[in-house]
A and B are shown apart, each in its own frame.
Chain A
Amino acid sequence: MQLFLETIADLIAESGLAHLRIENIAMIVIAFVFMFLAIKKGFEPLLLLPIAFGMLLTNLPMTGMYHAELWNLDSGHELDFGRVLHEGGLLDILYMGVKLQIYPSLIFLGIGCMTDFAPLIANPKSFILGAAAQAGIFLTFIGAALLGFNANEAGSIAIIGGADGPTSIYVSSKLLAGGGYSVEVGTIALAAYTYMALVPLIQPPIMRLLTTKKERMVRMETLRTVSKTEKIIFPIAVTVIIALLVPSAAPLVGMLMLGNLFRESGVVERLTKTAQNELMNIITIFLGISVGATTVAEKIISFAFLKVILLGAAAFAVGTASGLLFGKIMYWVTGGKVNPLIGSAGVSAVPMAARQSQKVGAEADPTNFLLMHAMGPNVAGVIGSAVAAGVLLSIIPY
């Protein structure tokens, strides 16, 4: 009888309920909110749902699935993978793929298999718009600095402006590797994916504000057809050029271009199909839940996260605006041949930003087909944000 009571007492003491604190409850509720957004409102469900669930799992006490102390090291301590393997729970083990830069790169491989760079090859000036929109990243860096974040934190927050999930995770997992920061990979990823889902809300007002109706009605020349050979040379050339210039961008750009080469070569269809389907899905699952697991209460319920939310909105807005402004410059320079609306598609949320260009252009002239023209800057933006990521990683020490 005695033993039975003792056992029960122990079980109660070890139960999650006994260790449930107010922060945990708050985080669990927040996780529910994101699940609602993902499922009911369709906010980037592929990533947001696993992230939200990872958040739930990590904030249910005593589950032992994720141990923040393994990853957040005090200065002087090295990341000990042996310890992770010994003491880590499921989410710790899965998180290693994030730490080792495997997941974001493989996702980019899949994205490359799905991307058609023809609109960009046909009109390479779109690269300028892809570059211009990345101003959102660097101006957010300034903003983060002004709000009191240090270099590594500011760099991680800034990359949210790249409007690219894997890139944000890639950069923040490296910059924040040392631990002891007020933001986490999870908070960055959460902000990034939420804002990517909000692109249809953020972009159109800015697009209407910064362009005149006349500019929006511009019809662009039909894009020339791009030959297969060009489509094969493109990924190879981009990889070589970017890797030589910004080597730290090579994992992302290289995998993106490899995926594209798989697709365009036409000789490795099995690989292409796997990379963009099974592989992407597997990695997305692992990435989502392990990144979600890093969203422990202290990092979310904090003033820092609030600032991240504000900065994230600013990042997207500034990126959109600067893409549009460069679009206007191109409009003037070419004597009205370029529709400034495609500039905002330089924000590399593919294909949502391009869709917004199409949508706002169609409001002005319903027969205007801007989508393909906007895809050029859109995919250029993916390359641009990867380059910007590389730059941040080369400049900021971690």
Chain B
Amino acid sequence: MHTLQQMESGYVGAVTVTGLVIVFVALLLLIIAVALMNKIFDIIEEQKKAETEAAAPAKAPVEVAPAPVREMPVIEQSAEDDTEVIAVIAAAVAHIAAESGKELKVRSIRQTSGRRASRGSWAAAAVSDSMRSVS
């Protein structure tokens, strides 16, 4: 093949089209495979959730990490991730309270809607952290 200096346009077209088609088809198949895997896991998650929700009481005080806390309000929607976030917030507050000697009370923890949330310095820190070069 490398004795040919110029390629015929037919060949070039064939390579291009074939290449694009195969790449797209391969990745489309991967999309389907991953989406399927997601679906299967969602179903498994739903079943698990149904079991735990039947077992646990409807409203429960939230479990908190080691540090002593002054007072914890009851949180209505206890999705698992929220529980951990609340625990972290409470532990942080307790830590600050212990260090400064002041008495701090967590009165409410509310999730703001995503739209107009001002991300502020934490988000900025997270972004700059992720953007640090790996290599």
Interface, chain A (partner B; CB < 8 A)? 46, 75, 114, 120-121, 124-125, 127-128, 130-131, 134-135, 137-139, 141-142, 145, 148, 150-155, 178, 180-181, 219, 221-222, 225, 227, 229-230, 233-234, 237-238, 241-242, 245-246, 351, 355, 358, 362, 367, 369, 371-372, 380, 383-384, 387-388, 391-392, 395-398
Contact = CB atoms under 8 A, between A and B. Distances in A.
B2 A180 contact: yes
A127 B19 contact: no
Interface residues of B, number: 46
Q: What DSSP secondary structure best describes chain A's contact surface?
A: helix
Nearest to A368: B119
Contacts of A127: 27-28, 30-31, 34
B112 to A, nearest CB: 13
B42 to A, nearest CB: 9
A138 B135 contact: no
Interface of B: 1-7, 9, 11-12, 14-16, 18-20, 22-31, 33-35, 37-38, 41, 81, 114-115, 117-119, 123, 126-127, 130-131, 133-135
Contacts of A230: 37-38, 41
Given A229-B41, A238-B30, A245-B22, A142 B12 contact: yes
A138 B31 contact: no
B16 A178 contact: no
Given A124-B30, A151-B11, A234-B34, A178 B2 contact: yes
Contact of B127 (A242, A369, A397): A369
Nearest to A45: B135
Contacts of B11: 151
Nearest to B119: A367
Given A124-B34, A237-B37, A388 B23 contact: yes
B113 to A, nearest CB: 11
Contacts of A362: 127
Contacts of B15: 138, 141, 151, 155, 392, 395-396
